[in-house]
Amino acid sequence: MTSRRRFLLATTAAAAGMAACSRPEEKPDDAHPSASTPPSTSSTEPAPPPSPEEIARQRVPADLRARIASLMHVGVRNADDARAKLAEGVGGLFVASWADPRLLYEPGRDLAALRHEAGHRFATSIDFEGGRVQRHQQVLGSFPSARELAATGDTDLVRDTGYTIGLSLRRHGVTVDFAPVLDIDVAALDVIGDRSFSPDPTVVGRFGAAFAEGLNSAGVAPVYKHFPGHGRASGDTHYTQAITPPLEELYSLDLPPFATALARRPAAVMMGHMVVPGLGADGLPSTLDGIAYQLLRTGDYPGGRKFSGLVYTDDLSGMRAISDIFSLPDAVTTAIEAGADQALWSSGAQVAEAIDAVQHAVESGRIPERRIDEAAHRLQLQLYWAGV
């Protein structure tokens, strides 16, 4: 770990040195008023610049269907597939493990080119945690797992690793990283394992926040996952329904990492597909349950605080905890109705059908239009902070 740390710190220092060499252009002397210039006699004060909130609000599409489409965050196979999805107006492109890696680097067909071509702003995302979940590492690099990082006990190293990952992602056009994992590892679940920093919720929260801070410093939006905690669930939601301990038991172990991380480094959150006894409707996965989103938004758990950031669903197409019980358009509609701001599905299938379903739900009165408006505004605010 000592040599790895030296490498990471050297990489970070090199990046910082490059940034330091880029100075803002100096204004010529005549850009400043001379001493002989008479003072302005106008009594009109200049209008204050708009706040980020106001700018984001101005960017929200006026058209209802365009607003709804911006809530769709979908997987793409290649540049042509991405262009087709962007033509539908989606708000995010997800680069899955099976996507053409040239999306990350080929001029004219990469994410940067797509952003230049598109007629609207959109996010670009990937799963890149380090360890066994780091997609397209042949392009983006290879990094230690969360467990390996935590074993060093070095918060600065964790932050630096997040920063170095973030630099690589942003250099290749990615603006959102679905990381870090804030689940605790106490049940020997293969799906979590070394993706978790620790069995100790305090350690998970502290290192998760540090990793997120590093990503954010590099211009990449971090996403904490999987709320309200997958670490003690009964199985893997990729393959089956997964049930957590009752809600009152999550208060002591599974939820504290989210409280700690959100207090230290605010970020977006991914809602998991777990069924939580005592939380909302029996048997309903958290991604589709309005009570789960209410828990996150109100911070009504030990150490929690009110949360107004962006909330993603976990994958609605590639995980049987959802696909076994809902069609994709129904899952997307139900998730947005429940409180999701970005409906994520890796297959990228049925985009038009999903938009149609949500639009029908709004026009029929099932989903209030203000639900669409607030979600679209949160996306635009994230894009603003990412410089998109």
Q: Catalytic: which of 177, 185, 314, 341?
A: 314
Residue 146 has, within 13 A of its CA and on its CB side, a CA count of 29
**Whole-angstrom Cα distance, residue 89 to residue 52?**
23
**Whole-angstrom Cα distance, residue 162 to residue 181?**
13
Start-to-end CA distance of the chain, whole Å, equals 36
Choose which CATH entry (3.30.300.100, 3.30.310.50, 3.20.20.300, 3.20.20.140) describes domain 71-385. Answer: 3.20.20.300
Q: Is 238 a catalytic residue?
A: yes
Is residue 361 within 8 A of residue 333, CB to CB? The reply is yes
Q: Is 314 a catalytic residue?
A: yes
Q: Catalytic: which of 120, 236, 238, 330?
A: 238
Q: Which residues are CB-contacts of 174 (< 8 A; sequence separation ≥ 6)?
A: 95, 104, 111, 124, 125, 126, 128, 220
pTM of this structure: 0.87
Q: What is the pLDDT along the chain (388 residues), one digit of tens a residue?
A: 444 444 444 444 443 333 333 333 333 333 333 334 445 545 578 888 999 999 999 999 999 999 999 999 999 999 999 999 999 999 999 999 999 999 999 999 999 999 999 989 999 999 999 999 999 999 999 999 999 999 999 999 999 999 999 999 999 999 999 999 999 988 777 888 899 999 999 999 999 999 999 999 999 999 999 999 998 988 777 877 889 999 999 999 999 999 999 999 999 999 999 999 999 878 899 999 999 999 999 999 999 999 999 999 999 997 788 888 899 999 999 999 999 999 999 999 999 999 999 999 999 999 999 999 999 999 999 999 999 9
Is residue 201 within 8 A of residue 259, CB to CB? The reply is no
